[in-house]
Amino acid sequence: MGLMRKSEAAPDQSPQFESWGRYPKFQAEVVPLHWGTDFPLRQPPATRQLPVGLGRSYGDVCLLENGTLLQTVGMDRLLHFDPATGMLRCEAGVSLRQILDFAVPRGFFLPVTPGTKYVTAGGAIANDIHGKNHHVAGTFGRHVLRFELVRSNGTRMVCSPIENPEWFAATIGGMGLTGLMTWAEIHLRPIVSRKLDYRGDKFHGIDEFLALSHAATSEYTVAWIDCVSTGRNFARGIFMQGDHSETPGPLTRSKEPRLAFPFDLPEVALNRFSMAAFNSLYFHKQLGKQKVGPVDYEPFFYPLDAVLHWNRMYGKQGLLQFQNVLPHESGREGMLEILKAITKSGLASFLAVIKFFGDVPSVGMMSFPTPGVMLALDFPIRRELSFALVDRLARITLEHGGRMYSAKDARMTAEQYQAFYPQWQDFARFVDPGFDSAFWQRVTGRRPLDD
């Protein structure tokens, strides 16, 4: 797993790297870090640097053309755990999967988890990730107590809400640009079972989704939404809720995934018809209007982790992810406009989710979540078609006072980004002078978008 080395270029050239979306790809040198003291590098590189974990962001936040990527996955030690409080201190390269393997048998769980466990703790903080419990728990950053930040000039800072608080806020959601995080303290939550109490409700249309969201009482909520079907089936979906089971149950470690997507699917495989079939199958997999029962945490939180390299399904061209949030006031109208644009394009795939973000404030200066309705979905890359669609969706998002998620993006323009995140210039003061990213170059207007 991890950042994908795309190709062995000519001997005198650096290899190319890509993130999970497989677009864009850039040449870079990779320097693996194994110890917190490995940085700053003994021989400082002539290029800019950027920390990178498992490379599971989608676009270019962890890429840097002709740069030096500081790969943190070798820093994967667990430094301290206090079962009385749930506080775990770990190195920044530890993956959420490693944390779960350690924590679940001890009766603890991540405070917030994204849809994959193959991200590092450092990456989770740098992108201030969110999960299905955002409406009650906020972002990952809210559960981070402290961390160490090392600047390329060798300065080491412990950051927390009371120690270097401005660096704490800039680094959470700071996309790795403020320096290298060596370790962090995360507050885990207790559980008594691997199981969750699950409830799935089918819905038709955005209004039914909104009603279910308002009425939901569970800690975890998310809805799968059909972005392909039109007419009677427009915006149908399944609203999924869950709570950690309160009945003591198994606390075993998960097994290794056995399935891997073995090759790149040809581009033609994902088309309007196959996607309509997929969406229809998924909607009808749940037979009744409502389904209730216990479910293991793996399929509930990480259905796609069961198949390694599932991004190969999108072929060599890769995929674009679009994720935005609109404030509640304009959420209904805005999402309708967006969903109509997507279904009309016929470009949507199967993987689309919609959810309410809560009003728990994010800690990070550049964190994505704000109160409102969040939508995330994938498009197979069909160059001008999908690029134009994502640009259109970005404009609608802007018109409705929303914003897009940097970790999922490969196509925002500098103007769009700066409108979504007007605080970007304040943040720029915290960027390490030795650091940079392809994303940051793009959204600060230093790298043009290709067509």
Partner 1 sequence: MTKQAAAPKRVLALGATSAIAEATLRLLAEQPASFFLVGRNPSKLAVVRDDLLTRGATAAATCVIDLDDTGAHPAMLAQALGALGGIDLALLAHGILGDQTEAEKDYAVAKAILHTNFLSAVSLVTWLANYFEAEHRGTIAVISSVAGDRGRKSNYVYGASKGGLNIFLDGVRNRIDRAGVQVLTIKPGFVATPMTAHLKKNALFAEPSQVARHILRAIEKGKDVAYVPPFWGLIMLIVRSVPRRIFKKMNM
User: What are the residues binding partner 1 (CB under 8 A)?
Assistant: 32, 34-37, 74, 77-81, 91, 102
Q: Closest distance between partner 1 and the C-beta of residue 44, in Å?
A: 17
Tell me which residue of 46, 38, 35, 166 sits closest to 91, measured CA to CA.
Answer: 35
Single-letter amino acid code for the residue at 404: M
Strands of the 144-150 sheet, one edge to the other: 78-82, 87-91, 180-187, 144-150, 156-159
- For tokens 């079962």, name the residue: 83
Residue with smaller CB distance to partner 1, 74 or 248: 74
List CB contacts of 213: < 8 A, sequence separation 6 or more.
221, 223, 239, 355, 356, 373
Q: Closest distance between partner 1 and the C-beta of residue 74, in Å?
A: 8
Single-letter amino acid code for the residue at 340: K
CB of 322 within 8 A of CB of 407? no
Q: Closest distance between partner 1 and the C-beta of residue 155, in Å?
A: 18
Q: Closest distance between partner 1 and the C-beta of residue 12, in Å?
A: 14
Tell me the backbone φ, ψ of residue 50, rounded to 5 degrees: -155, 130
Residue with smaller CB distance to partner 1, 102 or 282: 102
Residue with smaller CB distance to partner 1, 128 or 185: 185
Residue with smaller CB distance to partner 1, 78 or 414: 78
Residue with smaller CB distance to partner 1, 107 or 358: 107
The DSSP code sequence of 150-203 is E-TTS-EEEESSSSSHHHHHHHTTSTTTT-EEEEEEEE-EE-S-SEEEEEEEEE
Q: Closest distance between partner 1 and the C-beta of residue 80, in Å?
A: 6
Residue with smaller CB distance to partner 1, 78 or 388: 78
- Distance between CA 139 and CA 318 in Å, rounded? 28
Alpha-carbon distances of 298 from 114, 124, 196, 221, rounded to whole Å = 12, 18, 10, 15
Q: Closest distance between partner 1 and the C-beta of residue 32, in Å?
A: 6
Q: Closest distance between partner 1 and the C-beta of residue 125, in Å?
A: 19
- For tokens 């009309």, name the residue: 344
Residue with smaller CB distance to partner 1, 79 or 259: 79
